């Protein structure tokens, strides 16, 4: 077991994203949101064409 000093622990917390707990989850959320936005625009384009 390794012990980090308080400064290292604070740096690790500062590197974490504010929501979702990890950067991988944040990136996945952004990609899914991007896909849903594009799908909605596609649907609106065909619905009101």
Rounded-to-integer distance, Cα 4 and Cα 2, Å: 6
d(CA 35, CA 11): 33
Q: What pLDDT score does 45 carry?
A: 97
Q: Is the pTM of this model over 0.75?
A: no
Residue that is written with structure tokens 């990136």 in the block: 27
* Residues 1-49: tens digit of each pLDDT: 566 677 766 666 678 888 888 889 999 999 999 999 999 999 999 999 9
CA 17, 23, 25, 30 dihedral sign is: positive
DSSP 3-35: ---HHHHHHHHHHS-SSSSSHHHHHHHHHHHHH
């Amino acid at each position: 077991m390794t012990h980090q000093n308080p400064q290292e622990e604070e740096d690790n917390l500062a590197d974490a994203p504010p929501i979702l707990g990890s950067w991988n989850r944040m990136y996945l959320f952004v990609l899914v949101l991007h896909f849903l936005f594009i799908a909605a625009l596609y649907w609106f384009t065909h619905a009101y064409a």
